[in-house]
Amino acid sequence: MVEIKNLTKFYGAHPAVQDISFTVGDHEVLGFLGPNGAGKSTTMNMITGCLPSTSGTVLVDGYDISKEPLEVKRRIGYLPEIPPVYPDMRVRDYLNFAAGLKGVPRNDRKKQVEDAMERLHITDVQKRIIGNLSKGYRQRVGFAMALLGSPKFLILDEPTVGLDPTQVMEVRRLIQDLAREHTIIFSTHILAEVTAVCERVVIINKGQIRAVDTIEHLESTVGGDLRLCMKVEGEITKITDIIRNTEGVRSVDEVEFDSQGVNAFTVTVESEAVRKPLMSRLIAEDCMVLEITSVKSSLEDVFVKLTAPTRAQTREEAFEELGKEMDRQREAEEAAKAAASEADDAETEKEAKD
C-alpha cells in the first residue's frame, strides 16, 4: 500500500502541492488527474524520492521515503513524462545498465531485460541506438526500464505520450495485465485511458486535492444532471415549448436539424423519471418521438467541473505560472540526475570491491 499523508511542497513562497492525502491499495490502478501545473509531476517525484517534500510523509509498504529511501526505491518502478534514457546507448545496453543501478543480481539481469523488452515489444530494436528511435519507441524503452527489478509499485507519468493508437491500446492492455502483480499510479491527460484502466481517481488542481473517489460515483454525483438526446418530428417551436414547460426539465441545451421535419434536441433533466411524462406530452400534442437516449455525465464532465478556473487568468499571470512550472520541472530533472549519478557511483564502488 502507498500512503500519502499531508504532503506539501513549496518552491520559495509558492505552494506547488498543499497538504494532500490519499492511499493506493494493493493491485489497484489509481488514476492521478489534473490540468497542467496542478502538481501531478511534483507529487510523483516526491513519492519516488526524486524530490524532497517540504512537509508530510510518503509511506510505501510501511517504509517512510524520508527515512528509508533505498527501501522505498527498491519497491518502485518510475516512468517520468520524459523517459530518463541515454540517447547514445543501445537499447539492451541501457537496460542492462539500468538493471545494475537497480541492484538486480547479475545472474538474473539477462532474463529480466529480455522479459521487459518482450512485454514492451522492443526486442527487434534492442541493438539500435536509443537516440535514433522514434519518440514512441523511446517511451517504451523507458517503460521497460521501470519494470526492471520487479517493483511492487509502478508510477507512470503520461506513459502513452507519443504512441500511436495501436501502441496506446497495447499499453492499456499491459497496464491491466500488470495490475495483477503491481500497484499502479497512472497519470495522463487522456481521460478515456483512465476510464478504461482505473476504477478510482484522484483529481488535483492548483496543488490541492479536489476529489478522491471511484469514477462511477464521481460521474453520478459531481458530473451534473442527466441529459436526454431526442429526435422529434414536428414544428420546432412547438416542440421546444413543450419540452421547456415539462416539469423536471432544466434546460434545452441544443437544437439541431436532423432531416426534413425532424430535429435533434439535447435536454438537461433532473432525473430519468422525466423521460416518461416528456414523451407522453409530446405524443399528446401530435409530435412524433423517433428516438430518445440518456447521456450520463462522463469523467471529462467531472474533470472540467472540478478544475474550472474561478476567474480569468491575465496574460502576465499565465507567463508567471508557466515560468514557475518550468523551474519546478528543471529542479525535478536535476534531482533525478543527481540520484542516478549517486546510484551509479555506488554500483561502481560495489563492483570495484567485488
**Are residues 32 and 62 located together in one domain of the fold?**
yes
Cβ contacts of 159 within 8 Å, gap of 6 or more: 79, 139, 143, 171, 175, 186, 188
Judged against a pLDDT cut of 90, whether residue 110 lies above it is answered with yes
Question: Would you say residue 260 lies in a domain?
Answer: yes
pLDDT at 144: 92
Distance (Å, whole) CA 267 – CA 38:
33
Average pLDDT over residues 32-48: 89
Distance (Å, whole) CA 59 – CA 57:
6
Question: Cα-atom radius of gyration of the chain, to the nearest Å?
Answer: 25
**Are residues 176 and 280 located together in one domain of the fold?**
no
Q: What is the percent of the chain where pLDDT is above 90?
A: 40
271 DSSP 8-state letter: S
Torsion sign (Cα): 145, 78, 26, 75? positive
Give the domain extent around 251: 225-296
* Mean of all residue pLDDT scores within the chain: 85
Cβ atoms of 289 and 277 closer than 8 Å: no
**Are residues 209 and 249 located together in one domain of the fold?**
no
**Are residues 324 and 201 located together in one domain of the fold?**
yes
300 DSSP 8-state letter: H
pLDDT band (50, 70, 90) for residue 92: very high
User: For the ranges 19-33, 41-55, 153-167, 212-226, which has the lowest average pLDDT?
Assistant: 212-226
**Are residues 343 and 242 located together in one domain of the fold?**
no
Question: Would you say residue 62 lies in a domain?
Answer: yes
pLDDT band (50, 70, 90) for residue 105: very high
| Whole-number Cα distances in Å, 123 to 105, 108, 114, 307 | 21, 18, 7, 41
Per the structure, the count of domains in the chain is 2
Judged against a pLDDT cut of 80, whether residue 162 lies above it is answered with no
pLDDT at 295: 79
Q: Any idea of the CA torsion for 165, 170, 174, 175, to the nearest 10 degrees?
A: 10
**Cell output for 208:** 490541492
pLDDT at 224: 63
202 DSSP 8-state letter: E
Distance (Å, whole) CA 231 – CA 209:
40
pTM: 0.69
